[in-house]
Structure 1
């Protein structure tokens, strides 16, 4: 807006009034964000319902632009403008307000999804959050166009025809996208799960995006797997149906050992490990199962249990050390491999 001060001295006054109204709106919006919202968050934190926290938190960064747009809308009443220009400016402000509200709504919905998944003890994937955010913003943009008299029917038609061409050109990308949605819908692989593929790749699922799944190996390497490949692979999910997994430790003792004593010492040692070592399931009753007469030992399996896959290594480590110590104290021998050779003389 260009103002000729020499020919229109009243315009200076109008501009000052307009600027004061906008500045006042910005100041009120800033004060509400900095003071009022903080007070409201403190009050809502005391309530049992989490929705009020979500609504207030999402207002951060929204109140200020809304009050600025409202002030601009009010300020137009104090300036003299060409009716056509004024109509365009009012429509611009209207579109801006709709888009700000759309962003606010997208924040609430995505944060609600993230909160619901946390309540379910899972982690939201970026493909769900981003798809939801983009969908809400796209709908808000179409509503904004419709509100100012722009027909969206031709636009939707053009998008339909263009979308078909894009779909043909991006078949691999769309295949990965829909494979990712299928993986999330079936809930057989979730963010945070520890998985092992038939290719030997194993690790924690960090994220399922629109194109690929990110897996962090125990060595802290990141493996990027296309969603289509993951959907077709044979996958072992150690977190389903439960995170708890059994830990098998193979042991062998000499043939002249007292097996009742061996079993008692092994179980007592396992119980102590489960109660003292991080990751052990304290309520689990360990078991001993003898199974093989070996070449130099009677072999058995000690069964322990840990809360999740990666914790088994520390539990095994501590158990082997302590069991070796206890067997030495009780005089129980863990024999070296022995082979008897009988030779015949001619």
Structure 2
């Protein structure tokens, strides 16, 4: 056995065998090289995925699996360099079993859940989802322990992979399709329903993110009920795929457009109120009674028609700006696709 004092061939005791110090350095270099190679390959595939329009889920699967494979290959080669016989993994398997028994069940569970998510066609990177707790956003990344969901407000929510498998998840953009949405509104009793339908549909169709009329995608107005002081309606409309990923802004934009349309058509939007009817005042009735107390002028002004003021639909402008920004982001690889 060579002397430990020999610096060039120093030996390090590892268990029941001795390993040259230079072999340990080489093994460490191999492991580092494996991690660097995995990082470079993942970055290259990520940039490729950003540039293409189709096949992104497949590229993401290749990106993740190649990264894991390179890291594991580096570890196995490093162990071989140390002289460890890889055909005999009884000790290693036993150590892993003890580790799992001591508290690694959660780590293994999340890692396996992440692999399941990578291959799951129902929940993929780039989909806009809604969780049971109300969190909504785009799946930006599926990691070995948790997935990252980026909301429309720019927040990054880290969710354990198992939660996306075990909990109910609403996928707003599954298979790249649009969704029909319902926007409620109310008008006063006695209003012409046909007029309400015409002006609201016209306003919805004038919105830039409403799909063109077709046999399947029809913009409609439904009368849904009778309220205490109003007729309850719903605008039923099919927005574009990009607008579906921004439900809050989309709903606000349609609501604004509906209010503008109703006000322009001088259709009353009711609010809870209590009317006090006076049949006789100072021996007078009707308009004569109002004149007696000097209220005729105020009453006439309240019912005088006025031209609606032009308004700016901030929600619609923000939605269009977000869609345009997302298109620009596709031309700049490496950026998140959040709203």
Shift in alpha-carbon separation, 1:314–1:257, aligned structure 2, 3 A: same
**Aligned counterpart for 1:192 among listed residues 94, 117, 126:** 126
**Aligned counterpart for 2:116 among listed residues 182, 197, 205:** 182
Contact 2:127 2:138 in 1 (8 A): yes
Residue 229 (str. 1) matches residue 159 (str. 2): no
Secondary structure at 1:300's aligned position in 2? strand
**Aligned counterpart for 1:336 among listed residues 265, 271, 291:** 271
Corresponding residue for residue 288 of structure 1: 221
Residue 152 (str. 1) matches residue 82 (str. 2): no
**Aligned counterpart for 2:179 among listed residues 216, 227, 245:** 245
Secondary structure at 2:69's aligned position in 1? helix
Q: Please give the root-mean-square deviation of Cα atoms over the aligned residues, in Å.
A: 4.3
Shift of 1:240: 1.9
Give CA deviations for 1:111-159 in whole Å, capped at 9, x if unaligned.
Answer: 786546953244966x97455324234336646876x895633664443
Structure 2 Cα separation of the partners of residues 220 and 199 of structure 1: 18
Give CA deviations for 1:67-125 in whole Å, capped at 9, x if unaligned.
Answer: xxxxxxxxxxxxxxxxxxxxx9xx99x99999999789868975786546953244966
Secondary structure at 2:238's aligned position in 1? strand
Shift of 1:301: 0.6
Contact 2:173 2:245 in 1 (8 A): no
Corresponding residue for residue 262 of structure 2: 327
Corresponding residue for residue 327 of structure 2: none
Structure 1 Cα separation of the partners of residues 272 and 82 of structure 2: 88
Corresponding residue for residue 140 of structure 2: 206
Give CA deviations for 1:42-66 in whole Å, capped at 9, x if unaligned.
Answer: xxxxxxxxxxxxxxxxxxxxxxxxx
Shift of 1:302: 0.7
Corresponding residue for residue 220 of structure 1: 154
Structure 2 Cα separation of the partners of residues 285 and 207 of structure 1: 35
Q: How many pairs align?
A: 251
Give CA deviations for 1:188-245 in whole Å, capped at 9, x if unaligned.
Answer: 3222222222233333222221111222333333322222233221222212244523
Secondary structure at 1:153's aligned position in 2? coil
Shift in alpha-carbon separation, 1:311–1:196, aligned structure 2, 3 A: closer
Structure 1 Cα separation of the partners of residues 101 and 176 of structure 2: 41
Shift of 1:267: 1.0
Shift in alpha-carbon separation, 1:104–1:251, aligned structure 2, 3 A: closer
Structure 2 Cα separation of the partners of residues 329 and 201 of structure 1: 36
Residue 262 (str. 1) matches residue 196 (str. 2): yes
Structure 1 gap segments, 5+ residues each: 1-87
Contact 1:280 1:315 in 2 (8 A): no
Instruction: Give the TM-score taking structure 2 as reference length.
Output: 0.58
Where relative contact order (Cα < 8 A, 6+ residues apart) is larger, the structure is 2
Contact 1:246 1:303 in 2 (8 A): yes
**Aligned counterpart for 2:95 among listed residues 149, 162, 169:** 162
Structure 2 gap segments, 5+ residues each: 1-19, 278-339
Structure 2 Cα separation of the partners of residues 198 and 96 of structure 1: 45
**Aligned counterpart for 1:317 among listed residues 252, 255, 279:** 252
Shift of 1:253: 1.9
102-111 vs 325-334, greater mean Cα deviation:
102-111
